[in-house]
Amino acid sequence: MRISLPLLLSFLFLSLVVQGLDPKCDTPDQGSTLKVLHVYSPCSPFRPPKPLSWEESVLQMLAEDQARLQFLSSLVAKKSIVPIASGRQITQSPTYIVRTQIGTPPQTMLMAMDTSNDAAWVPCAGCLGCSSAVFTSAKSTTFKNLGCQDPQCKQVPNPTCGGSACAFNLTYGSSSIAANLSQDTFTLAADAVPGYTFGCILKATGNSLPPQGLLGLGRGPLSLLSQTQNLYQSTFSYCLPNFRSLNFSGSLRLGPIGQPKNIKYTPLLKNPRRSSLYYVNMVAIRVGRKIVDIPPSALAFNPTTGAGTIIDSGTVFTRLVLPAYTAVRDEFRRRIARTSGNAAVSSLGGFDTCYSVPIVAPTIGFMFPGMNVTLPQDNLLIHSTAGSITCLAMAAAPDNVNSVLNVIANMQQQNHRFLFDVPNSRLGVARERCT
């Protein structure tokens, strides 16, 4: 049974009004495993107050992706790119949130997880331009601001040392923040991490900031991985739930304990110019059984230009550089034409391969050394119930950025466990129902 997003959201909204918060939301995270919620989940305070139509929600997510891709391209190019002008409100760039507790006594924050960023930052009391719940540092007995002499101050971009405090500015998507570099205890599930270094946001502009902060899962300086090396040994995995599912119980499992044993791996590649991103070597793409014809340069890893393929938790729909996308899409359309009686192709927003009759879609497989990831329909198609439109949920990289990067995004990761084993420099992927 398929449930449309608007129907689902209105159902959830009603049930919240009637029953209060889903009791599942209040259960504490156990061990070293955090529940992962989609921002539209019933437990999430960030779900749209008024349900969006299917078209609206799809277009909104695509628009958010556009800002995200610009941001990722700017990371790759190591230069800032002027944010795209858009009439649309760009909100909530990353899609999945986890519950963290900061300070003593603990204050709960629902932070966005982001595999393409290193640092953590949180809106602090008194912040100008922050939109939601803030962390009140004055109420925590373990909070402290770091000074310019502290070694961590050398790890933030462009630190400024007004007085003795270490402060910094950074841009994220189309937003910018000004923050103090601070430390406090972060409690992740049952694990307390004393003296966690993070940015305490004092001023924010723009609207692509996650409202309760960001937890960077990259592998550069100041990331969760580098600050918890002894505890978690730079190993984590996640299973992202599908936002259409009623259960919404994905998980972020930190550390080597409890990770899957039977899992296929491919090497992680390191771009020294951009150490936080998780690059992999995608060598080919299969549509059904057929390996499509893609010029090798569209897939090749190049640390100088930043080209290649990354795994990103914050982008919703996979983007391929134009020649790769065209090859995949054309073969996909050929297959549909053959199996679904030449159904007419239409477009919706940035999606160019949509159908208004039922279709039988081929699988799409991403091929890596040591590992093939074959995606079923659930990871490939988005459906509306009302208009019975079905679209291939991928797109070409936007043409207004200097696109060299293929981004394997979260819709294509849903219901799989992605295991980041940084000490052994490998990524594992296994099917898992996390809805």
Q: Active-site positions?
A: 114, 312
Q: Is 137 in the site for ligand NAG (CB under 6 A)?
A: yes
Q: Which residues pair with 368 in a beta bridge?
A: 371
CB of 12 to ligand NAG, least distance (A): 13
CB of 252 to ligand NAG, least distance (A): 16
User: 């984590």: which residue's tokens?
Assistant: 236
Mode of pairing for the β-strands spanning 175-188 and 381-383: unpaired
CB of 370 to ligand NAG, least distance (A): 5
Q: Is 84 in the site for ligand NAG (CB under 6 A)?
A: no
Tell me the two tokens of residue 324: 């790769």
State which of positions 325-384 bind ligand NAG (CB under 6 A): 367, 370-372
**Of 120 and 348, which has the nearer Cβ to ligand NAG?**
120
User: 């994220």: which residue's tokens?
Assistant: 172
Q: Is 165 in the site for ligand NAG (CB under 6 A)?
A: yes
Q: Rule CB under 6 A: choose which of 5, 36, 124, 280 binds ligand NAG.
A: 124
Tell me, by CB under 6 A, how many residues bind ligand NAG. 21
Exposure string over 284-306, b if 16+ CB within 10 A, otherwise e: bbbbbeeebebeeebbebeeeeb
Q: Which stretch binds ligand NAG (CB under 6 A): 51-59, 77-85, 96-104, 197-205?
A: 197-205
Q: Is 157 in the site for ligand NAG (CB under 6 A)?
A: no
Binding mask 242-281 for ligand NAG (x = CB under 6 A): ----xx-x--------------------------------
Q: Rule CB under 6 A: choose which of 61, 200, 299, 391 binds ligand NAG.
A: 200
Rounded to whole angstroms, the Cα distance separating 78 from 290 reads: 36
Q: Is 178 in the site for ligand NAG (CB under 6 A)?
A: yes
Q: Which stretch binds ligand NAG (CB under 6 A): 62-70, 155-163, 355-363, 407-415?
A: 155-163
Please give the backbone phi and psi of residue 360, each rounded to the nearest 5 degrees, phi first: -110, 110
Rounded to whole angstroms, the Cα distance separating 111 from 132 reads: 12
DSSP string, 161-228: -STTB-EEEEEETTEEEEEEEEEEEEEETTEEEEEEEEEEEEEEESS-S-TT-EEE-SSSTTSHHHHT
Give the nearest residue (CB) to ligand NAG: 165
Q: Are 285 and 383 in contact (CB under 8 A)?
A: no
Angle among Cα 104, 108, 109 to the nearest 5 degrees reads: 125
CB of 34 to ligand NAG, least distance (A): 16
Write out the residues near ligand NAG by the rule CB under 6 A: 124, 126, 137, 145, 158, 160, 163, 165, 169, 178, 180, 200, 202-203, 246-247, 249, 367, 370-372
